[in-house]
Structure 1
Amino acid sequence: MSEQSSYSIVVGVDGSPSSKDALRWAVQQARRADGRIDAVMVWDTPAFYDWPMRTAEQLDRATNEALRRIVRETADEADLIRISTHVARGHPAKALLDAAETADLLVVGRRGQGAFTHALLGSISQYCVNHAPCPVVVVRDAKP
């Protein structure tokens, strides 16, 4: 009887090209280390007054469906067994750091945004690099 690997990778997925690239990178790393992946997608309550009202359960369900679809579209069939999915609520950086609390590695994508947008919104990937409890790999979107 073989022992199950304890090497764990948390990867943030938001549907962007860079997050899909981050998931692909994490899958390759998990293969090498015989590890497991926790793919995490985060939602927060929209700050728009005209946003269609949905319950938290509906948003959880919709986010989970989107995450599972992205994982199926991005990872090879043989690698799906390594990947679990997790939906979190709140600020993406905080939720990813919470998910990575016991992980060996955190993998996030980084979209190339302009300096003005970066100054206003900050960078989830930068925040994770500065505050994560484990090593962080940032995968940049290959397309500018």
Structure 2
Amino acid sequence: MTEHVYTVIVGVSPRSSSPTALRWAHKQARAHGGRVVAVRAWRTPNPQATPSGTTASRVASVTDTEHDAMARLAADVGSVLGEGHDVDVRVVRGDRRRALLDAAENADLLVVDAPRSLASAPLFAHRLVYAAPCPVVVMPPRISGEPQTGLERAGWAAVRAAGSAGRPGLGTSRADRGRG
């Protein structure tokens, strides 16, 4: 019978390298005598079309794309944690959500940075939390040092105002609604 090793899965973004999530996951695994597995999803790029509409003569192979994704992930983890890190790196073909959920199947913890896009951030994190087979830690942008978006700078009041525009009674108190 093999002994279970405490395992932390960390999703590593190809855009930001998820430095906060990587560092936090690494500290968490060390505190529990465990290991970290850095995961990144990849997809086969669509072949570029020529001006005539035909496919270009050089199309990246699946093997080349996978090797490139692995090299980039290893470089990103190395740049965040240093070259002597003990993190396992794994690239998975397909959707990032499915890749993380599959990797977390026998893990003790799943760690991700909050996605940069406000349009996808609530949905991505929310879907991970409710579908994951283990606890999920989502590093908020304030902790990860992400710059504020224009929406955050303007404040959520603008979002609420826009959402209630043209809806009589939305956002008013019950007493105000009764005073026609």
Equivalent residue runs for 1:49-60 within 5 Å: 49-50=48-49, 53-60=59-66
**Hey, which of these two has a bigger chunk of strand by percent?**
1
Cα displacement (A) at 1:53? 2.6
Cα displacement (A) at 1:111? 2.5
* Structure 1 gap segments, 5+ residues each: none
Which residue number in structure 1 is paired with residue 72 of structure 2? 66
Contact 2:109 2:136 in 1 (8 A): yes
- Closer/same/farther in 2, CA of residues 18 and 72 from structure 1, 3 Å limit: closer
The TM-score, its normalising length taken from structure 2, stands at 0.66
Larger Rg: 2
The answer to whether structure 1 residue 84 and structure 2 residue 88 are counterparts is yes
CA-based RMSD? 2.5
**Hey, which of these two has a bigger chunk of helix by percent?**
1
Equivalent residue runs for 1:133-144 within 5 Å: 133-141=133-141, 142-143=145-146, 144=148
What SS does the corresponding residue of 1:133 show, helix, strand or coil?
coil
Identity among equivalent pairs (%): 35
Contact 2:17 2:77 in 1 (8 A): no
Which residue number in structure 1 is paired with residue 31 of structure 2? 32
* Structure 2 gap segments, 5+ residues each: 50-55, 149-180
- Closer/same/farther in 2, CA of residues 33 and 16 from structure 1, 3 Å limit: farther
Aligned residues: 136
Distance in 2 (CA, whole Å) between partners of 1:16 and 1:58 is 20
Which structure has the higher relative contact order (CA within 8 Å, separation 6+)? Answer: 1
Cα displacement (A) at 1:17? 3.4
The TM-score, its normalising length taken from structure 1, stands at 0.82
Contact 2:101 2:132 in 1 (8 A): yes
